[in-house]
């Protein structure tokens, strides 16, 4: 193998740069050239790329974002786009394409593989942690840390004014960030899609829990962590309804894209280093249409379709203890 390519696609995640660095240094070790396509699949279609050598990734491991930039490319779903991408890869003599991204990016890689003879390998990079078959994705641990730091600061002002605060975290249709951040910050309540089956019943449940908490400890802060796009009408609508039902002022904090930024924490740097090196090794071994990941501290190479064939479940033990902690306040008498 003489030349491989790498791109970052979809939402950026802390640790993507660390992964690019690992790919480049591992490839250098094996005497393989690396080119980086810019702006995700858009760069692949427009043949927008740059050579990547060790000097290009110097002091990169601590930087958030991605030096290759990222982007979403709806047109890549078309057959003509996949054929053009294959033609561009062949023109440069690329033998394997490494895609750092989430399940949408992996779908794109599989689509390309239908029209290209080279190898495609997915590396899971998304703060959502919603890739099935593996323990964690690059960027997830940093997103938790960012959310946790913000919630701790919100708690200070919530205590000062004895308010309810709704803190909205990212995660699309997955509650991994929400559940982990809620437990780590000792939030009073967490709302994530996997655990909220009946929205109207949930509102009554929250109201009763707020009132129970106030009976036990008097007027005090109350923190609710909620996943984005969960509540009809948005988190502001939920805040208004809670204020009306509990007669306690409820404020909203939307963390938004701040969770995507920042220097990656050690867990994400280490995971990115391992997966980047392992992806190059699997490319050398001839693997195709795979996703690399880690399961129980062991590196694995799985069929790439595993990433979307089933919904990744929340950690059942974290769910269990969160519910137990929630129930304590509801059951105790003042």
* pLDDT(334) > 60: no
Angle between helices 316-331 and 199-217 (to 10 degrees): 50
pLDDT band at 120 (very low <50, low <70, confident <90, very high): very high
List, by residue number, the catalytic residues.
128
pLDDT band at 331 (very low <50, low <70, confident <90, very high): low
Q: Single out the residue of 163, 23, 49, 172 nearest to residue 102, CA to CA.
A: 172
Burial 92-107 (b: 16+ CB within 10 A, else e): eebbbbbbbbbbbbbb
Q: Single out the residue of 73, 120, 97 nearest to residue 7, CA to CA.
A: 97
* pLDDT(325) > 70: yes
Residue whose entry in the numeric block shows the structure tokens 């994530």: 192
Cα(54)–Cα(174) distance, rounded to whole angstroms? 36
Helix (H) or strand (E) holding 224: strand 222-227
* pLDDT(204) > 90: no
Tokens of 151: 């919630």
User: Do residues 294 and 136 touch, judged by C-beta distance below 8 A?
Assistant: yes
pLDDT for the residue numbered 59: 93
Map residue 3 onto helix, strand or coil: strand
Q: What angle do CA 121, 70, 79 make, to 5 degrees?
A: 60
- Give the residue ranges of DSSP H helices in 247-289: 266-284
What lies within 8 Å, CB to CB, of 106 at 6+ separation is 99, 122, 131, 291, 304, 307, 308
Q: Which domains occur in the chain, in start order?
A: 3-139+264-303 (3.40.50.450), 141-260+315-331 (3.40.50.460)
- Give the residue ranges of DSSP H helices in 115-264: 140-161, 176-184, 199-217, 235-246
For strands 222-227 and 119-124, give the pairing. Answer: unpaired
Q: Single out the residue of 140, 20, 9 nearest to residue 72, CA to CA.
A: 9
Q: Single out the residue of 254, 260, 204 nearest to residue 230, CA to CA.
A: 254
User: Do residues 302 and 133 touch, judged by C-beta distance below 8 A?
Assistant: yes
pLDDT tens for residues 140-195? 999 999 999 999 998 888 877 778 889 999 976 899 999 999 999 999 899 998 98
Average pLDDT, the chain: 92
pLDDT for the residue numbered 196: 83
Q: How many CB atoms lie within 10 A of CB 78?
A: 11
Q: What is the DSSP string of 11-77?
A: S--TTHHHHHHHHHHHHHHTT-EEEEESTTHHHHHHT-EEEE-GGGGTT-TT--S-TT-----GGGG
pLDDT tens for residues 60-113? 999 999 999 998 888 898 999 999 999 999 999 999 999 999 999 999 999 999
User: Do residues 5 and 34 touch, judged by C-beta distance below 8 A?
Assistant: yes
List of long-range contacts for 208-216, beta carbons under 8 Å, 24+ apart: 208/330, 209/326, 209/329, 209/330, 210/164, 210/242, 210/246, 210/248, 211/246, 212/329, 212/330, 212/332, 213/188, 213/329, 214/248, 215/334, 216/329, 216/332, 216/333, 216/334
pLDDT for the residue numbered 332: 53
User: Do residues 7 and 36 touch, judged by C-beta distance below 8 A?
Assistant: yes
pLDDT for the residue numbered 130: 94
pLDDT tens for residues 23-71? 999 999 999 999 999 999 999 999 999 999 999 999 999 999 999 999 8
Cα(256)–Cα(125) distance, rounded to whole angstroms? 18
Tokens of 241: 């309804």
* pLDDT(303) > 70: yes
């Amino acid at each position: 193998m003489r030349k491989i390519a790498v791109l970052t696609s979809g939402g950026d995640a802390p640790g993507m740069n660390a992964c690019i660095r690992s790919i480049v240094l591992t490839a250098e070790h094996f005497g393989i050239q690396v080119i980086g396509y810019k702006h995700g699949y858009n760069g692949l279609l427009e043949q927008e790329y740059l050579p990547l050598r060790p000097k290009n990734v110097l002091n990169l491991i601590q930087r958030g974002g991605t030096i290759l930039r990222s982007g979403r490319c709806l047109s890549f779903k078309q057959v003509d786009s996949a054929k053009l991408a294959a033609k561009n890869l062949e023109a440069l003599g690329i033998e394997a394409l490494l895609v750092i991204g989430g399940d949408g990016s992996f779908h794109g890689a599989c689509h390309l593989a239908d029209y290209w003879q080279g190898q495609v390998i997915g590396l899971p990079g998304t703060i959502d942690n919603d890739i099935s078959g593996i323990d964690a994705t690059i960027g997830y641990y940093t997103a938790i840390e960012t959310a946790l730091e913000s919630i701790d600061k919100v708690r200070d002002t919530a205590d000062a004014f004895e308010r309810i605060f709704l803190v909205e975290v990212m995660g699309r249709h997955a509650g991994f960030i929400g559940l982990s951040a809620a437990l780590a910050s000792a939030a009073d309540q967490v709302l994530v899609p996997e655990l909220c089956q009946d929205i109207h019943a949930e509102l009554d449940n929250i109201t009763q829990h707020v009132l129970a908490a106030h009976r036990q400890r008097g007027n005090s802060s109350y923190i609710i962590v909620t996943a984005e796009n969960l509540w009809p009408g948005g988190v502001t609508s939920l805040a208004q309804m809670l204020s009306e039902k509990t007669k306690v002022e409820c404020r909203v904090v939307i963390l938004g894209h701040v969770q995507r930024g920042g220097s990656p924490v050690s867990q994400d740097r280490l995971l990115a280093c391992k997966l980047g090196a392992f992806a190059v090794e699997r490319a050398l071994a001839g693997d195709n249409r795979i996703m690399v990941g880690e399961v129980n501290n062991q590196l694995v190479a799985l069929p790439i379709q595993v990433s979307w064939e089933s919904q990744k479940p929340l950690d059942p033990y974290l769910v269990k203890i969160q519910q137990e902690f929630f129930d304590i306040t509801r059951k105790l008498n003042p």
